[in-house]
Amino acid sequence: MIKACIFDLDGVIVFTDRYHYLGWKKLADEEGWKFDESLNHQLRGVSRMQSLQIILDHNSLDVSDDQKAEFADRKNRYYQELLDDISNDDLYPGAVEFVQRVRDRGIATALGSSSKNADRVLTALSIKDLFDAVVTGHDLTRTKPDPQIFQLCNEGLGNLPVTECVVFEDAESGIAAALAAGMHAVGVGDADQLPNADQVIKEYSEINLDQLLANGRVR
Q: Which runs of consecutive H residues, i.e. helices, occur in the chain?
A: 17-31, 37-41, 48-58, 65-83, 95-104, 118-124, 148-156, 172-180, 209-215
CB 73 within 8 A of CB 117: no
CB 178 within 8 A of CB 194: no
Number of Cβ within a 10 Å radius of residue 18: 13
Q: Which of 8, 90, 170, 198 is catalytic?
A: 8
**For strand 184-188 and strand 133-135, is the pairing parallel, antiparallel, or unpaired?**
unpaired
CB 150 within 8 A of CB 141: no
Is residue 90 part of the annotated active site? The answer reads no
CA 54/CA 93 separation, integer angstroms: 30
Is residue 129 part of the annotated active site? The answer reads no
Instruction: Please identify every residue annotated as catalytic.
Output: 8, 10
